[in-house]
Structure 1
Amino acid sequence: MRRKFSREFKLEAVKLVRERGVSVAQACRDLDVAESVLRRWMRELAEAPASAFPGHGQMRSEQAEIAALKKEVARLKAERDILKKAAAFFAREST
């Protein structure tokens, strides 16, 4: 089963390395976290400090935009299908 970590835990783990001078390997041993996971957290925090570790239903702005666009595409496809059916119906009626 995959473990989940809170935003606060991730921030504190990164602080151990960046601010307190603990090595990544030592922090990973102390926290029982894989080194690749801690390094990914460090990279995510460096790239976008405000939106790092969204979790709990929060999305990054890019993910939210993609979700909104997918929703709009689905709505437009439904409208298109309705118009196709209406056009076919009226084409039959006029013949």
Structure 2
Amino acid sequence: MGRKSNRSRRYTEEFERDAVALVRSSGKTVTEVAREIGGSAEGLRNRVKQDTIDRGQGRRES
């Protein structure tokens, strides 16, 4: 009986940047894009949120 690994999958920075760009440009939801690229919606959502903060467009929590 196989067991799922608790280790998260690591993606390259380029892959993550491309995924965030796809969310922003496609008009698709984070969940739709995550399904298409084979990643988790939660992880992609976090990357989009962090990208927004890094661009100075979002709130920073103290």
State whether TM-score is above 0.5. yes
Gaps of 5+ in 2: 1-6, 56-62
After the TM superposition, which segments of 4 or more aligned residues of structure 1 sit over 6 Å from their partners?
none
Query: When the two structures are superposed, what TM-score results if normalisation uses the length of structure 1?
Result: 0.47
Tell me: higher relative CO, structure 1 or 2? Use CA pairs within 8 A at least 6 residues apart: 2
Query: When the two structures are superposed, what TM-score results if normalisation uses the length of structure 2?
Result: 0.68
* Aligned position for 1:5: 11
* Aligned position for 1:14: 20
How many residue pairs were aligned?
49
The 1-side partners of 2:31 and 2:8 are apart by: 21
TM-aligned CA deviation for residue 19 of structure 1 = 1.2
1:29-48 deviations in whole A, cap 9, x for unaligned?
11111111010000111111
Tell me, what secondary structure is at the counterpart of 1:2?
A: coil
TM-aligned CA deviation for residue 2 of structure 1 = 2.5
> Which structure is larger by alpha-carbon Rg, 1 or 2?
1
Q: CA RMSD in A?
A: 1.2
